[in-house]
């Protein structure tokens, strides 16, 4: 059992997952030969399947790192491209197709690429081996091949045939060995012929005596010797097998046996030459095992070195703080939940009240503007509209009369608009929106912010919960405010509060209005210019100036844009005047009390405090209800939902998630690299111990 090779191949796979560095190359068998020397046929004979790209043109453009894994207890044979993640491929013609595609993907102008294709083949019929197939040497470029192709292939092969690799030099029996490109290449890097195995293919094409002479070659002596093979599968038998799936080992063995057995005097058991693919396999296994064993010490040393570097980085850069994708996720989630809990303590009934009341204040302002303050000029079309001046308008505003049914109707309609606004849906949706925005802000402040995947998961979770809770909450809240739709009583205290609040609202609205006026005035080119424009518009309104024709280009020496700005300024001026007027009215004694409880007459005179009191009543119901139904349920469900969502993630997703952040990725890589190297080093030490004992036993034996 070639335990060492197997273990070393496993170790190499592990090292590959952490980006094996150049110092950690474990020995492989590198297969070189000129085109048509039978290189592919030899490799396929070893694997037992046709799987290499075929074609008249040069199709191997990238090195193929072929790892054979012996699976003694399994029946199935399959291949895997670890870097492509295509899974197990049991159809070898599919492997052939994939290899062809990968090779053809190398642009013609690049000729060859030194980016290797990794292919693993698992089978009970293959030995544990690590082979590298390289593009075949060419003698002369074909007319359609780039001129530098020959050198490029040579350079690529030279890179791979360096120690500690074993060279498998393929030469065809019908070509003089002196002309073998493979042997010549091996000579350059292995002049003493210590790590080269010579394979002579197409033994059936030469006379057996000549064949034996070739294998016993004295001109190119190789310490590991030559093996003669006949790897061609007879065409007639091959067609009986379905292409790609059948194992061709027995066909080749039979074919080879029928040839070599026909010449027992030369290739028989007493012969000094080695022939046959099965002998070649055995030789490869032994040679690789011995090479692995010889390289154990240097490889261990290299791993020691790598580990020392990784440990240093871990200490200096990360202060020896261990990290895994899972622990990173768990920490991030804990921190997020903590921040969320802190937020939930700052966002309660009072905060809901503030945002709902603010919204209703706006609604009240709109209602008042529509029903009570609706006389001022809102927009003025220059040519055809003539209106009163602001002062006149204010003076002309209808005087309130508590006895007049019209004034009752006005207030009743306004109150009803407010109570039938759909406060349930409105208050619920603005609260839910505020919560969702707060969650977004929390995400941005958390480590999750650099993870698009987590941002998406958390936002989705909160939005789903809020959506679900909102349905019922909105409906139930609507039922709660129902009584107000029929009758609203306002106590003197409520009136007082309403009066105070609406005064503030109007004052702040007035401030905004004045601010906007100043901004527009500035856009008009200053106070004086603004005055000119405004007085022109006023004169038009009063009919003192009559405009004729098309005013699209402007009028009175002012451009159309300037006049439009002027109208905006006028609107703001009107609005400010009305707000000031109403503020004075509300602050007057007339509005200081709701009036006798049986008539509540003041409300018709001063609708502002009354409507504000109604809005406050609605808000009180809403905040109480939303606090109990929306906030507390959301605060309970959301962290649990997050916990469940993140816990359900599979290891791969967690890893991908953690790696989204470059800083975390680097940290994880260092930790992983260090752990992996520690593990590999332990394995290597075990193997060296085993080798020492085995070696001792061999010596004693
Ligand atoms: P590569 O270009 O070096 O990979 O060579 P291939 O393995 O594709 O073989 C080139 C040609 O030689 C093909 O037509 C094979 O069928 C043929 N061939 C390979 N091995 C043998 C063999 O042992 N005997 C004979 N007669 N032909 C062979």
Q: Which of these, 225, 466, 509, lies nearest to 361 by C-alpha position?
A: 509
Which protein residues touch ligand 1 with a CB less than 6 Å away?
A: 33, 35-41, 136, 201-202, 204-205, 230-232
- For residue 344, the model assigns a pLDDT of 96
**The Cα angle at residue 451 between residues 334 and 313, in degrees rounded to 5:** 80
| ipTM of the prediction | 0.99
Q: How many Cα atoms within 13 Å fall on the side-chain side of residue 81?
A: 17
Residue 201 CA: nearest ligand 1 atom is 23
Specify the pTM. Answer: 0.63
Which of 32, 35, 36, 61 has the most ligand 1 atoms within 8 A of CB, as the residue to mutate?
Answer: 36
Ordered DSSP codes for 282-351: HHHHHHHHHHHHHHHHHHHHHHHHHHHHHHHHHHHHHTT----HHHHHHHHHHHHHHHHHHHHHHSSHHH
Nearest CA to ligand 1 atom 11: 36
**Residue 66: partners with Cβ closer than 8 Å, 6 or more residues away:** 43, 47, 119, 120, 121, 129, 130, 131, 132, 133
Instruction: At 660, give phi and psi (nearest 5°).
Output: -60, -30
Nearest CA to ligand 1 atom 4: 40
Which of 33, 38, 53 has the most ligand 1 atoms within 8 A of CB, as the residue to mutate?
Answer: 38
Which of 32, 37, 39, 41 has the most ligand 1 atoms within 8 A of CB, as the residue to mutate?
Answer: 41
Query: What DSSP state is assigned to residue 119?
Result: E
Residue 33 CA: nearest ligand 1 atom is 3
Nearest CA to ligand 1 atom 25: 202
Residue 205 CA: nearest ligand 1 atom is 26
The maximal CA–CA distance of the chain, rounded, in angstroms, is 136
- For residue 311, the model assigns a pLDDT of 93
Radius of gyration of the chain (CA): 45
Q: How many Cα atoms within 13 Å fall on the side-chain side of residue 201?
A: 25
Residue 203 CA: nearest ligand 1 atom is 23
Q: Separation of 440 CA from ligand 1 center, angstroms?
A: 66
Query: What DSSP state is assigned to residue 380?
Result: -
Q: Tell how far CA 351 is from the center of its chain.
A: 37
Q: Answer yes or no: are the C-beta atoms of 99 and 57 closer than 8 Å.
A: no
Q: Answer yes or no: are the C-beta atoms of 566 and 555 closer than 8 Å.
A: no
Say how far apart CA 555 and CA 196 lie, in whole Å: 99
Residue that has been written with the tokens 């070696």 in this structure: 695
Q: Separation of 45 CA from ligand 1 center, angstroms?
A: 11
Q: Separation of 271 CA from ligand 1 center, angstroms?
A: 25
Say how far apart CA 518 and CA 521 lie, in whole Å: 5
- For residue 387, the model assigns a pLDDT of 39
**Residue 28: partners with Cβ closer than 8 Å, 6 or more residues away:** 65, 130, 131, 132, 165, 166, 288
Say how far apart CA 351 and CA 434 lie, in whole Å: 10
Say how far apart CA 695 and CA 697 lie, in whole Å: 5
Q: Separation of 221 CA from ligand 1 center, angstroms?
A: 24
Query: What DSSP state is assigned to residue 628?
Result: I
Q: Answer yes or no: are the C-beta atoms of 54 and 97 closer than 8 Å.
A: no
- For residue 185, the model assigns a pLDDT of 93
Say how far apart CA 701 and CA 698 lie, in whole Å: 5
Q: Separation of 195 CA from ligand 1 center, angstroms?
A: 24
Q: Separation of 35 CA from ligand 1 center, angstroms?
A: 9
Q: Separation of 168 CA from ligand 1 center, angstroms?
A: 16
Mean pLDDT per 10-residue interval, the chain, length 701 residues: 79 77 76 93 94 74 92 91 90 93 84 90 92 86 74 91 94 92 94 95 94 88 94 67 69 90 86 90 92 87 90 90 89 95 96 94 87 53 36 52 74 85 92 97 93 91 96 92 85 90 93 92 85 84 71 72 84 86 84 70 82 92 93 96 93 90 89 91 89 68 44
Q: Answer yes or no: are the C-beta atoms of 239 and 226 closer than 8 Å.
A: no
Q: Separation of 232 CA from ligand 1 center, angstroms?
A: 6
Q: Answer yes or no: are the C-beta atoms of 199 and 174 closer than 8 Å.
A: no
Q: Separation of 36 CA from ligand 1 center, angstroms?
A: 6
Q: Separation of 106 CA from ligand 1 center, angstroms?
A: 25
- For residue 380, the model assigns a pLDDT of 32
Sheet strand arrangement including 29-33: 78-80, 117-123, 64-70, 129-133, 29-33, 166-172, 196-201, 226-228, 274-275
């Amino acid at each position: 059992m070639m335990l060492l090779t197997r273990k070393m191949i496993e170790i190499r796979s592990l090292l590959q997952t952490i980006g094996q560095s150049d110092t950690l190359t474990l020995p492989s068998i590198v297969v070189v030969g000129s085109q048509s020397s039978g290189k592919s046929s030899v490799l396929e004979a070893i694997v037992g399947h046709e799987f290499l790209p075929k074609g008249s043109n040069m199709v191997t453009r990238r090195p193929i790192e072929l790892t054979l894994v012996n699976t003694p207890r399994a029946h199935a044979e399959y291949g895997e491209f670890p870097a492509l993640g295509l899974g197990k491929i049991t159809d070898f013609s599919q492997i052939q197709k994939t290899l062809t595609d990968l090779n053809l993907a190398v642009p013609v102008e690049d000729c060859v690429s030194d980016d290797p294709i990794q292919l693993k083949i698992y089978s009970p019929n293959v030995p544990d081996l690590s082979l590298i197939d390289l593009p075949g040497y060419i003698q002369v470029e074909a007319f359609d091949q780039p001129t530098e192709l020959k050198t490029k292939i040579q350079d690529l092969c030279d890179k791979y045939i360096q120690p500690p690799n074993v060279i498998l030099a393929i030469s065809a029996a019908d070509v003089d060995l002196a002309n073998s490109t493979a042997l010549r290449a091996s000579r350059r890097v292995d002049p003493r012929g210590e790590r080269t195995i010579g394979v002579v293919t197409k033994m059936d094409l030469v006379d057996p005596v000549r064949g034996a002479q070739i294998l016993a070659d004295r001109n190119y002596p190789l310490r590991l010797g030559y093996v003669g093979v006949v790897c061609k599968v007879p065409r007639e038998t091959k067609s009986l097998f379905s292409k790609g799936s059948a194992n061709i080992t027995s066909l080749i063995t039979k074919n080879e046996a029928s040839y070599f057995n026909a010449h027992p005097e030369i290739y028989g058991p007493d012969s000094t030459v080695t022939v046959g693919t099965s002998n070649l396999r055995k030789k490869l296994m032994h040679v690789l095992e011995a090479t692995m064993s010889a390289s154990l010490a240097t490889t261990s040393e290299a791993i020691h070195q790598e580990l020392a570097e990784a440990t240093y980085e871990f200490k200096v850069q990360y202060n020896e703080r261990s990290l895994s994708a899972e622990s990173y996720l768990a920490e991030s989630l804990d921190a997020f939940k903590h921040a969320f809990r802190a937020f939930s303590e700052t966002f309660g009934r009072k905060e809901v009240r503030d945002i709902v009341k603010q919204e209703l204040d706006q609604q009240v302002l709109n209602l008042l503007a529509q029903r009570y303050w609706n006389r001022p000029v809102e927009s003025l079309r220059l040519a055809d509209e003539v209106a009163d001046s602001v002062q006149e308008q204010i003076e002309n505003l209808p005087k309130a009369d508590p006895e007049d049914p019209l004034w009752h109707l006005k207030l009743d309609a306004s109150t009803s608009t407010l109570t039938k606004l759909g406060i349930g849906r409105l208050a619920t949706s603005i609260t839910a929106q505020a919560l969702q925005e707060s969650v977004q802000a929390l995400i941005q402040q958390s480590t999750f912010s650099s993870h698009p995947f987590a941002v998406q998961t958390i936002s989705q979770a909160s939005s789903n919960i809020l959506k679900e809770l909102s349905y019922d909450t909105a409906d139930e809240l609507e039922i709660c405010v129902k009584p107000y739709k029929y009758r609203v009583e306002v106590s003197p205290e409520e009136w007082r509060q309403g009066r105070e609040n609406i005064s503030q609202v109007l004052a702040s609205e007035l401030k905004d209005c004045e601010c906007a006026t100043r901004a527009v005035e500035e856009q008009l080119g200053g106070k004086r210019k603004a005055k000119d424009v405004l007085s022109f518009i006023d004169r038009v309104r009063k009919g003192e100036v009559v405009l004729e024709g098309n005013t699209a280009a402007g009028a009175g020496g002012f451009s159309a844009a300037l006049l439009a700005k002027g109208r905006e300024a006028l609107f703001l001026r009107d609005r400010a005047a009305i707000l000031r007027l109403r503020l004075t009215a509300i602050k007057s004694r007339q509005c200081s009390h709701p009036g006798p409880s049986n008539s509540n007459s003041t409300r018709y005179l001063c609708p502002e405090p009354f409507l504000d009191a109604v809005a406050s009543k609605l808000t009180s119901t809403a905040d109480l209800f939303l606090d109990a139904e929306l906030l507390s349920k959301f605060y309970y469900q959301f962290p649990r939902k997050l916990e469940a969502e993140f816990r359900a993630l599979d290891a791969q997703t967690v890893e991908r998630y953690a790696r989204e952040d470059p800083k975390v990725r680097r940290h994880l890589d260092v930790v992983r690299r260090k752990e992996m190297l520690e593990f590999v080093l332990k394995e290597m030490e075990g193997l060296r111990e085993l080798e020492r004992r085995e070696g001792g036993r061999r010596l004693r034996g």
